[in-house]
Amino acid sequence: MRPITSTLNFVDALRIILEAARPIARIETLLLLEADGRVVAREIVATGDVPPFDRAAMDGYAVIASETTSASASSPRTLRCVDHVFSGHMPRRGLGPGECMEIATGAPMPPGADAVVMVEETTRNGDVVRIAAAVTPRQNVGRRAADLAAGDAIVSPGQVLNPSRIGALAATGVTRVDVFSKPTVALLSTGDEIVQPGVALAPGQIYDINRFTLETIVTRHGGHAMAMGTVGDTIEALVERLDQARDEDIVIFSGGSSVGDRDLILDILERRGELLFRGIAVKPGKPTIFARLGQTPFFGMPGYPASCLSNAYMLVVPFLRKMARLPAWEPRTIDLPLARRVVSASGRHQFYTVRVANGRAEPAFKASGDITSMANADGFIEIPADVDIVEADSVVTVKFF
């Protein structure tokens, strides 16, 4: 057995991990509506003006503004309505002196007109329209290219697409967008005791949990999870699966990072890769490995499901988001008084789960081996390594899952 005799502090572990993250360079082309949340890889510029013509910004009457200067409610200006123009159609004629044209919001302005009087400021009787308010040139007119001019950058590399940016791309007729590919993440659960849900357990066996928590969190944070099932505790099996897995951008094993003599991962990593750290001063999640196999980053996560998932939040998520070129995760937070005193592990950065109830943060952590330590919690607080006790009623910052 090879005990973990020293641990790296959390801040250094995170620094080493982030330094090893190489943002993805591969690019793929997606249909616009498939691209929400994805990271733009190439600038897209407007190929035309938006809108492509001057248009009415209100329903009302297109006028020559200078003809309305004296108009008021008590002394309206009378104009003759010579036609109408609907949206989607071009005006059939222009305006001359004393004329106006009924116009719908979004319709192209007729030649000669330079303003729109809102319908609310008018009364009409047959062709005769009374204008009860003056308008200035360009008033209530949406000018050609006001939204986007041909050549304007709509999105730039590194921007994350969202509803409004997808709308701006649609505005210029864009149907496809080049985005950075998602990092692929090989997920393997090691351990002879691990069985996939769907089959009956034999004595001594348990169901795989980490594959499910890891796949879900990887998917949430911009990765493409490639579940590779379970692998037994033999050198041959581990080496074979590791060789398959290293074609992906990131490899995550869970289990096999403990200190038992069947914990062979470490031997393999030392022989075939570069071990960057093993054992970190966090709780839960101490027996965590980070290594490189050639250029492929490797996480050896603890087998215990609460440890595995909490280190996924603390270490894998920042790493993955940097690889995926996504901004750092910013969980929703709330500051609340702690319902009960918490005694923290001395010298270890603690990820401590809590439930929010009655306006307080109630400790929810049970044990590293219990997934219900997290499933029955709403989020977590972090307790730095140099803090041993957090008293009841201390205000803590809860980060929601």
| Region 249-308 residues binding its own copies, contact defined as CB under 8 A | 258-262, 303-305
| Minimum separation from the CB atom of position 62 to its own copies (A) | 13
**C-beta of residue 214 within 8 angstroms of C-beta of residue 186:** no
Among 68, 139, 172, 350, binds its own copies (CB under 8 A): 172
How many residues contact its own copies, by CB under 8 A?
A: 93
- Examine residue 90 and tell whether it contacts its own copies (CB under 8 A): yes
d(CA 397, CA 383): 10
Interface positions, 28-57, toward its own copies (CB under 8 A): 32-33, 36, 48, 50-53, 55, 57
d(CA 129, CA 135): 15
For 228, half-sphere exposure in the C-beta direction (CA atoms, 13 angstrom radius) is 25
**C-beta of residue 284 within 8 angstroms of C-beta of residue 332:** no
Interface positions, 215-234, toward its own copies (CB under 8 A): 215-217, 219-220, 233
Which structure tokens are listed for 179?
A: 């985005």
| Minimum separation from the CB atom of position 295 to its own copies (A) | 28
- Examine residue 395 and tell whether it contacts its own copies (CB under 8 A): no
Among 173, 229, 347, 384, binds its own copies (CB under 8 A): 173
What H or E segment, with its residue span, contains residue 163?
helix 163-171
Would the CA dihedral through 360, 366, 372, 375 be positive or negative? positive
- Examine residue 178 and tell whether it contacts its own copies (CB under 8 A): no
- Examine residue 171 and tell whether it contacts its own copies (CB under 8 A): yes
Could you tell me which of 68, 102, 74 has the C-alpha nearest to residue 87?
Answer: 102
Establish whether the linkage from the previous residue to 51 is cis, with ω within 30° of 0: yes
- Examine residue 136 and tell whether it contacts its own copies (CB under 8 A): no
- Examine residue 164 and tell whether it contacts its own copies (CB under 8 A): yes
| Minimum separation from the CB atom of position 14 to its own copies (A) | 20
d(CA 258, CA 272): 19
- Examine residue 89 and tell whether it contacts its own copies (CB under 8 A): yes
User: Cβ closer to its own copies: 96 or 167?
Assistant: 167
User: Cβ closer to its own copies: 164 or 295?
Assistant: 164
Phi-psi region of 210 (alpha: psi -120 to 50; beta: other; left: phi over 0): alpha
**C-beta of residue 132 within 8 angstroms of C-beta of residue 113:** no
Alpha helices, H only, 221-283:
235-245, 265-272
Residues in the chain, total: 401
User: Cβ closer to its own copies: 70 or 87?
Assistant: 87
Among 64, 179, 209, 342, binds its own copies (CB under 8 A): 209
d(CA 243, CA 349): 33
| Minimum separation from the CB atom of position 187 to its own copies (A) | 11
Interface positions, 2-21, toward its own copies (CB under 8 A): 3
d(CA 142, CA 385): 59
- Examine residue 390 and tell whether it contacts its own copies (CB under 8 A): no
- Examine residue 365 and tell whether it contacts its own copies (CB under 8 A): no
Sheet strands (E) in 202-273: 206-207, 224-231, 250-254
User: Cβ closer to its own copies: 127 or 274?
Assistant: 127
**C-beta of residue 374 within 8 angstroms of C-beta of residue 216:** no
User: Cβ closer to its own copies: 20 or 217?
Assistant: 217
| Minimum separation from the CB atom of position 376 to its own copies (A) | 8
- Examine residue 151 and tell whether it contacts its own copies (CB under 8 A): no
Interface positions, 305-334, toward its own copies (CB under 8 A): 305, 309, 312, 330, 332
Among 6, 74, 75, 175, binds its own copies (CB under 8 A): 175
Interface positions, 91-110, toward its own copies (CB under 8 A): 104-108
Establish whether the linkage from the previous residue to 284 is cis, with ω within 30° of 0: yes
